[in-house]
Structure formats: structure tokens, C-alpha cells
Amino acid sequence: MTDTSPPLSNARPRGPIAAVIAVVLHEGRTLLVRRANPPDAGLWGFPGGKIEPGETIANAAIRELLEETGVHGEALHPFTALDAFDCSANGDISRHFILVAVLCRLISGEPVAADDALEAAWFATDNLVHPDLPLSRDVIEVAQQAIGIMRGQFLKEC
């Protein structure tokens, strides 16, 4: 059977693609990767990627964290969802991602860029707004939400 569907670049998006971002905060630092591929190629953001068929949100977050940074983590809590779009040169949307942010705890490892990350590094959480650090949209807001969740968790445990 021959596939007669048009190439993706000429086709309308078929629907949103489910993906995750792994948000790791540790000792006042936030783990970020510089993306190699769209969306947000060249910008710093949270490790993440597509959810594979049959994979849970938590497992996808931990897998992507390990694949992109070499860091082992534990998924604690999905806490928000975001939209991300790939657009063609003429501005048409080619792909729409729905990103589920998952708060993760560091288990072990130091970040080393791998897979589709150009770089992986820890950044001071209170210094993410910096002119030399081009961030993906919503990184600051997501980090602030994660901090709030962690503070709430800490207060509940006291």
C-alpha cells in the first residue's frame, strides 16, 4: 500500500503531541539544557521530550532527564501544562506540543549534555533572569511554581 498523505511540512497539524519537561531544583539550583532541536532550538529550558506510547508521565520525565543530562531522578509531582509550537518560516504551525511539567528530585549524577541537548548545566535558581541566558518561554514561571510546591511540601513535613 502506498502512502499518499502529503509531507508534514505541507500538512496541517494532526493534533497536539504529548510531552513532558523534568523540573529539577537542588540546593538553590535549577537544571537546564540548551535545546538542539525545535521547538526552542538554541534556548535554555528544562530537559524533556515526547511521551512514548504506553509510557506514564512520570516515567517519561525520568527517561528524558536521564537521556538529555545523564542525571538520575525521581518524579514527584506533575504540576502544570504548557503549549509549545513549531512554526515554519512563513509562520504556519507545523507541530503543537502540550508539555506536562513534572517536579523531580535529584537522585544522582552530574549533568552532561546528550541526546538532543547541546549543553546541560545547573543555574542559580534566583538568577535565571540574565541577559546572557536565553530562556525558553515560561522557564521562570515554571521554576517559580516548582519552588512554591517544594516550599509547601517542606512546610507540610515540619
Selected residue with higher pLDDT from 51 and 37: 51
141 among known catalytic residues: no
In the chain, domain spans: 13-157
Q: Does domain 13-157 have CATH number 3.40.1010.20?
A: no
Using the predicted structure, report yes or no on whether residue 64 has a pLDDT greater than 50: yes
Pick the catalytic residue from 64, 67, 119, 157: 119
SS (HEC) of the chain: CCCCCCCHHHCCCCCCEEEEEEEEEECCEEEEEEECCCCCCCCEECCEEECCCCCCHHHHHHHHHHHHHCCEEEEEEEEEEEEEEEECCCCCEEEEEEEEEEEEEEEECCCCCCCCEEEEEEEEHHHCCCCCCCECCCHHHHHHHHHHHHHHHHHHHC
Per-residue pLDDT, 4: 47
Measured CA to CA, the distance from residue 62 to residue 85 in angstroms comes to 23
Using the predicted structure, report yes or no on whether residue 10 has a pLDDT greater than 70: no
Enter the pTM of the model. 0.86
139 — alpha (psi -120 to 50), left (phi > 0) or beta?
alpha
pLDDT band at 12 (very low <50, low <70, confident <90, very high): low
